[in-house]
Structures are given as C-alpha cells and as structure tokens.
Amino acid sequence: MLKSYPATWKGHLVLACQKCQKKLKGNDDLAALAKLKKSIKRHNKRHPESAIHLVRVPCMDLCPKDAVTVVLPQEPQRLSILRSESDIDQLYAALEPPRSDPPNEAS
C-alpha cells in the first residue's frame, strides 16, 4: 500500500517548464515570465485566498517563442502557454471557482 502525506502548500498546483523560463532570462520585457515563481509568490501575498503553488519541471516538448508552457494537474492532457503578465492573471481566473450570484428575490 502506498503511503500518502498532506501537501506542504495551500491552493492550486501549476507545473511550469523550467527550460522555457531559462530561455527568457535577460529579456527585460518578459521578466515576470522568466521569474514566474517569484511573480506568483508576489501575487499570492496580495491575494492569499487564490494561492497557486508553482513547481518547475523539465521540458514538456512544447517550446513557444518568448513564452512559458504550463500545465494544470486538473487538466493534464492540455498545455497552456503564458506570453505576458496578463496571461498570469488569466491563469488565476481559470483556477478560481465560478462565483455564484445570490438569487434575486422578487418582492
């Protein structure tokens, strides 16, 4: 029987290609993607209710130019590409559960 342990992080898990990030080093326009883990930690401090834990993994064999490949464990058969800081925000939006609006009561 396999032993299991609780995760040491809170929030969603995201796997990011370390080779993609390494290729972006030195490009000042894409510094947030080159240092994706640092960018996500900064966002987590501002928004702890929607935390993401980033794990850097080896190449995923999808090498976009000036971008980083990520995969969400909830959708392992689908790779996503982050090309800008706004894509990081979209990643957070994709991971947040849909908000249910309270029902309007007609009087």
- Please tell me the predicted confidence (pLDDT) of residue 50: 81
pLDDT at position 103 is 56
pLDDT of 69 reads 94
- What local confidence, expressed as pLDDT, does residue 4 receive? 93
Averaged pLDDT, 45-66: 89
What share of the chain has pLDDT > 90, as a percent?
32
Mean pLDDT in the chain? 85
- pLDDT at residue 2 in the model: 92
Answer yes or no: pTM beyond 0.85.
Answer: no
Q: Pick the residue with more confidence: 27 or 102? A: 27
18 φ/ψ sector (left φ>0, alpha ψ -120 to 50, else beta): alpha
82-96 per-position pLDDT tens digit = 998 888 888 888 877
Burial pattern 27-53, b for ≥16 Cβ within 10 A else e, equals eeebebbbebbebbeebbeeeeeebbb
